[in-house]
Amino acid sequence: MMCADFLHLEEEVRFLESHGVDWMHVDIMDGHYVPNFTLGIDYCQALSRACRMPFDVHLMVEHPEAHVEGFASLPGARLTFHPETVRQPIRLIERIRELGASPGLALDPSHTVDQFRHLFPLVDQVLVMTVNPGYAGQKLQPHCLDKIAELRALLDAQGLKAEIEVDGNVSWDNIPRMIDAGADILVVGTSSLFQKGLSREDAFTRLAQLVQPDLSAAN
């Protein structure tokens, strides 16, 4: 939602609802874990009163354990955090579940699948960042496509149900490659659905043509 038109936010939300988007992906940035500073709980609560879509909250923050309670109260909340930002990630995963939300882990491009593989059985989604977290409009880190494929193979081999979410330069060219690598969920932004110079309707039509029927598109 950081890529949406803030001056016409309700119009954006209504469009996404009417076109069957599964989640509203909201990036929460604290200016510490990443240099950017965006959105917050008040923004999310206002959105929750205006729409029916559940929230897919990506906590790009230091000390995410201090913030999960507020975000867990959002309808159908999925809370994804970066495990290197907390001393006890298992405790935080358990706390998110206790609050009634769905826990997820985010993998920065600099981190390997092996570093956090012991945590995958405990979560519902693993978010693979294919750009450095913090800003929209960055180029794809090519090695991250291999990371998606590696994660897909690991989850399938172990019979784990965690979904693979992909965030970062989810462009027209990259969407098929991400799907082929094993992505379940795409976080679409300025490289596709919110591309400048392209109407939302035309962009969504193009997106629907690329995305397989069993794949979810999160904005």
| Residues assigned a catalytic role | 27, 167
* Cβ pair 178, 166 in contact under 8 A: yes
The residues pairing with 163 across neighbouring beta strands, listed in sequence order, are 125
Q: Do the Cβ atoms of 179 and 214 come closer than 8 Å? A: no
CB neighbours (10 Å) of residue 21? 21
Sign of CA dihedral 144, 150, 152, 154: negative
Coil, helix or strand at residue 40 = coil
44 near 77, Cβ under 8 Å?
A: no
187 and 207 Cβ atoms separated by less than 8 Å: no
Residue 144, H or E segment: helix 143-158
Which residues, other chains included, contact 52 with Cβ-Cβ below 8 Å and sequence gap of 6+? 17, 75
